[in-house]
Amino acid sequence: MPYYISPPPQSPLTRVIAGIIAIFALIGAFMIGMIALLVIVGVGLVIGCAIWLRIAWIKHRLRKSGIDLGAGTNPSAADSSKGSGQVIEAEYTVISKHEE
């Protein structure tokens, strides 16, 4: 036989009242949980937008200073007629020279 801290109500009226109170308690807990979830999602969206704007601002400043952020990320960019914007420095010695 189970032991209760407080036994379940015996009269039908107290059972109905206890059921109504339990339903309101569950609805209240659900509403508080939804509010907490909305607050967490809202804070996450604000932080995400702030990070996105910061990265966009950094990219803007780098492009303004002349740094190419897309170099080496797009393989078709290296094959384009514009060139990739990279310079290769080297030393060489002329071994033979054909003169007419």
Would residue 84 count as lying in a domain? no
Distance CA 31, CA 42 (A): 16
Q: Which structural domain, as residue segments, surrounds residue 24?
A: 12-78
> In this predicted model, what pLDDT tens digit does every residue of 3-52 receive, in sequence order?
778 777 788 998 899 899 999 999 999 999 999 999 999 999 999 999 99
* pLDDT above 70 (res 100): no
Give the 3-state secondary structure of residue 51. Answer: helix
pTM of the entire predicted model: 0.51
Answer whether 72's CB lies under 8 Å from 86's CB.
no
Q: Can you tell me which residue has the tokens 């990279």?
A: 86
Phi, psi of 39 (to 5 degrees): -65, -45
The domain tally of the chain equals: 1
> In this predicted model, what pLDDT tens digit does every residue of 46-77 receive, in sequence order?
999 999 999 999 999 988 888 777 655 555 54
Would residue 1 count as lying in a domain? no
Would residue 85 count as lying in a domain? no
pLDDT of residue 97: 79
